[in-house]
Structures are given as C-alpha cells and as structure tokens.
C-alpha cells in the first residue's frame, strides 16, 4: 500500500513538471507569435491550452483520490494539497500565454507591438519563459533554495514591467490608444505569468519546510 | 470527535462567508473611491486588505488541521479542500479591489475615469459587488442552483467590459493614452473580480454535487 502510495505521489509530481513544461512552451510560442505576428503559432498556443487544462483536471482528480484512499499526513499531505494549488497556478500561466496569443491573433497581420516596446517584450518574454523553466526544474528537484530564487528572477520582470509603463505614460506615446491598451494588457499578462511561477516556488518551499506559505504579493 | 469535526467544518464555512463579506466591502469602497476620487477611502481599501489576507492564512491552516486530524472523506473532504480554493479566490478578489483603489490613489486629486466611461464603471462596480454578495450568500446557503446563477450574473460584467473596449478602441478616444491605459486595466480588474466570484460558485456546485468542477473559462 505504501509503495503504491509513493508511486502515485511521484507520478503526481511528474505530472506537475510535465504540465509546467507545457506552460513554458505556451509562453515561448506566444511570445514568438507576438514578436513575429505569426498567426499560425498564435493559433497553436490557443488550441493547445486544452492539454494544460486536461492536466489540471487529472492532477486535481489524482490528488483527491490520494487524499481519500491514503489519508496522507505531514509532508505528504502538504505535497498532495500543494499539487492542486500548483496545478491551478500552471493553468493560469497557460491561460495568460493564451491571452498574449489572442492579442497577436487579433492584430494580425499587423504586429501588436510598436517598435519602441519590442526590446521590452523580447526581454520580458525571455524572463517569463526562464521563470517557468526554473519552476519546472524546482518541481522536479523540490529544492527550496532554487525555489526561493524564483523571487529574484521575478524582480527582473517587475523592473521591465515598470519600464514599460514609463514608456507608455511618461513620454509622448505616438502609437495611438489601441496600441497603448494592447501593450498595457500584454505587460500585465507577462507580469502575472511570472507571479504564478513565483507562487509555485513558494508552495515548494512550504512543502519542503512545512513553514507557512508566504502569501501572495498584491499583484 | 465527529461533533467537534462538524463544528470545525461549520466554522470554516462561516469564515469563508465572513471573508467574502470583506471582499464585497473592499470592492464597494474601491468602486466608490474610483467614482468620487476619494483618497482616504482608497487608502482604507488598501490598508484593510491585510484582514482578507489574514483570513486566507487562517482558513488554509484550519483546512490543513482538519485534513490531518479528521481525515474526512467524500463530501466533507470536498468541502475542506474546496475551502482552500475558495479562500484563494476571495483573496484575489480583495487584491483586485486594491488594484482599483491603487489607480484612484495614483490619479488623485484627478479622477481616473473620463466622463464617457463613468456610467460603465458605475454599472460594472454595482455588478461586481452584486456577484460578490451572491457568492457570499451561496457560501452560507450552499445552494448549487444559486451558485449556478453566478455565471449569468457574470455575463452582464462581460458585456459591460466588451462595451468599454468599444468605447476605448472603436471611436475617437479623446482622453489620452494614460487614461486609456487606466481604463483598460481597471476593466480587466473588474472582469477578473467577477470571474473569481463565478469560480466560488463552481466550487460550491462541486462540493454539493460531487461533480467534476467546471474548469475556469480563459479569462
């Protein structure tokens, strides 16, 4: 019974890492689609979200089954409960990548990004993808120190996000209202995507240490 | 033991309803602060978020304690696990009300809202508050039919949100880029606030019926 339990728990953790890999890929492609106004890539991201949503359902069902059949305690209980929270975070990351893809699709064949913010989105995209990759690694290693570093990586996204608003608001923006609205919403999507990766790190720390989970910053 | 368990479970459910009442009040005041450029009201909403965050921590701790000590199954397990998800949703609702308050505070003594969108935000604010109130009632009644109605109420918010983007994008917006960015982000905050209320309804339906939780729409 315990052996079966540990196998199921290990499988739950692998599923989370696989699900996170899908979110990495979704953001990578959404960002590329945005930079290149690549309609078919954007549509792929949108269509593929179903795989992420399916993982979310499966993980929630597996976690429930483990709670009912195995009644885990202590660290194992934290892992099972945490897996549901983490799956919800990854699901949101996927949804935010879809939002990025949606804006590229809506503006196609135009590019949603004016030239002056291309560099910002190139950087924010790379940073967001890196955060999701770190989250994925942390879901495998369960290393609380690596998980804690997600917060530092997020600072770079926040800095770029603030810089974006400086461009939008503090100087003469010449690309019109529609473009400003797109850029503001896109910035918000990248920032929230990164926040969810940080949340995953906090959950892993909580599971590893049993410490109270640090609660969300107000983002 | 079972009596103590049921008392604790009932207390967990009351705490959720109390927490939701705080989110109702936060959005009510944030919306008022936005419409009236009321700085002190906005600051109150921001400061008061700590109470919502404290409820989130307490509910998560209580739920863990119940899982460890009582090892609930079936409907009771769904209620305990669901309470953590619902608390996370209410926490986000509070955070989104804070974002609305933040924008009023940043623009004070100016009003963040140009005249042409005042009516939209009056409506969306009232709709968002009503959704949160319905969610609060549903957390007490645990009535799946009432919970299902949250989805219909949300349609009104989505319609108003779409109308807002029509105003922003489809005609000559004369209030400048800064204002357009504020309005776009504000619209997003109200829409997400309402989505979380709908999620609460879905959780209550899941807990009451044991059916698979309907998963999030891509918002």
Per-residue pLDDT of chain A (219 residues; tens, 9 = 90+): 578 889 999 999 999 999 999 999 999 999 999 999 999 999 999 999 999 999 999 999 999 999 999 889 888 999 999 999 999 999 999 999 999 999 999 999 999 999 999 999 999 999 999 999 999 999 999 999 999 999 999 999 999 999 999 999 876 788 889 999 999 999 999 999 999 999 999 999 988 887 654 455 556
| Closest-CA distance of chain B to residue A105, Å | 15
Q: Does B61 touch chain A (CB under 8 A)?
A: yes
- Chain A positions in Cβ-Cβ contact with residue B184 (cut-off 8 Å): 181, 184-185
Whether A84 and B88 lie within 8 Å, measured CB to CB = no
Residue of A24, A32, A51, A6 whose CA lies nearest to A200:
A24
Cα distances (angstroms) measured from residue A118 to each of A122, A183, A186: 6, 10, 12
- Chain B positions in Cβ-Cβ contact with residue A181 (cut-off 8 Å): 165, 168-169, 180-181, 184
Q: Does B219 touch chain A (CB under 8 A)?
A: yes
Whether B68 and A88 lie within 8 Å, measured CB to CB = no
Sorting pLDDT into bands at 50, 70 and 90, what band is B218? low
Q: Does B171 touch chain A (CB under 8 A)?
A: no
The answer to whether the CB of A15 falls within 8 A of the CB of A91 is no
Whether B68 and A77 lie within 8 Å, measured CB to CB = yes
> Helix (H, G, I), strand (E, B), or coil: what is residue A111?
coil
Q: Which of B71, B84, B213 sits opposite A71 (nearest CB)?
A: B71
The answer to whether the CB of B88 falls within 8 A of the CB of B56 is yes
Residue A176's closest chain B neighbor by CA? Answer: B177
Residue B55's closest chain A neighbor by CA? Answer: A215
Sorting pLDDT into bands at 50, 70 and 90, what band is B173? confident
Q: What is the DSSP letter of B142?
A: -
pTM, two decimal places = 0.94
Encoding tokens for residue B169?
């994008």
- Chain A positions in Cβ-Cβ contact with residue B216 (cut-off 8 Å): 91-92, 95
Write down the architecture of domain A2-209 according to CATH: Up-down Bundle (1.20)
| Closest-CA distance of chain B to residue A186, Å | 10
- Chain B positions in Cβ-Cβ contact with residue A173 (cut-off 8 Å): 177
Residues in chain B: 219
pLDDT of res. B10: 94
**Rounded Cα gap, residues B76 and B142, in angstroms:** 13
Q: Please state whether the peptide bond connecting residue B96 to the residue before it is cis, i.e. omega within 30 degrees of 0.
A: no
Whether A73 and B68 lie within 8 Å, measured CB to CB = yes
Encoding tokens for residue B144?
């799946």
pLDDT of res. A18: 98
Q: Which of A49, A71, A185 sits opposite B218 (nearest CB)?
A: A49
Cβ-in-10-Å burial (0-12, 13-18, 19+) of A122 comes to middle
SS3 string, A31-81, reads HHHHHHCCHHHHHHHHHHHHHHHHHHHHHHHHHHHHHHHHCCCHHHHHHHH
Angle at B58 between CA B53 and CA B59, to 5 degrees: 95
pLDDT of res. A38: 98
Torsion angle in degrees (nearest 10) through CA of A135, A140, A142, A147: -20
**Count of alpha carbons within 13 angstroms of residue A106, beta-carbon side:** 13
Residue of B136, B58, B123 whose CA lies nearest to B93:
B136
- Chain B positions in Cβ-Cβ contact with residue A187 (cut-off 8 Å): none
Whether A216 and B177 lie within 8 Å, measured CB to CB = no
SS3 string, B13-29, reads HHHHHHHHHHHHHHHHH
Q: Does B218 touch chain A (CB under 8 A)?
A: yes
Q: Does B213 touch chain A (CB under 8 A)?
A: yes
**Count of alpha carbons within 13 angstroms of residue A83, beta-carbon side:** 31
The answer to whether the CB of B96 falls within 8 A of the CB of B53 is no
pLDDT of res. A2: 79
- Chain B positions in Cβ-Cβ contact with residue A178 (cut-off 8 Å): 168-169
- Chain B positions in Cβ-Cβ contact with residue A212 (cut-off 8 Å): 57, 61
pLDDT of res. B208: 87
Sorting pLDDT into bands at 50, 70 and 90, what band is B2? confident
């Amino acid at each position: 019974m315990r052996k079966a339990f540990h196998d199921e728990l290990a499988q739950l953790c692998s599923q989370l890492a696989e699900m996170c890999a899908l979110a990495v890929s979704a953001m990578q492609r959404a960002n590329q689609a945005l930079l290149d106004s690549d309609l078919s890539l954007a549509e792929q991201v949108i269509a593929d979200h179903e795989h992420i949503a399916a993982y979310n359902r499966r993980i929630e069902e597996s976690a429930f089954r483990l709670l009912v059949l195995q009644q885990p305690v202590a660290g194992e209980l934290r892992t099972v409960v945490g897996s549901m929270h983490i799956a919800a975070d990854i699901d949101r990351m996927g949804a935010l990548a879809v939002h990025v893809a949606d804006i590229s699709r809506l503006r196609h064949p135009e590019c949603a990004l004016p030239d002056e913010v291309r560099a910002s989105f190139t950087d924010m995209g790379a940073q967001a993808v890196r955060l999701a990759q770190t989250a994925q690694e942390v879901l495998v290693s369960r290393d609380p120190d690596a998980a804690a570093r997600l917060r530092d990586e997020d600072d770079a996204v926040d800095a770029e996000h603030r810089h974006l608003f400086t461009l939008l608001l503090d100087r003469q923006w010449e690309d019109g209202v529609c473009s400003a609205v797109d850029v503001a919403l896109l910035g918000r999507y990248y920032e929230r995507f990164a926040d969810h990766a940080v949340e995953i790190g906090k959950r892993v720390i909580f599971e590893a240490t049993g410490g109270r989970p640090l609660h969300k910053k107000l983002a």
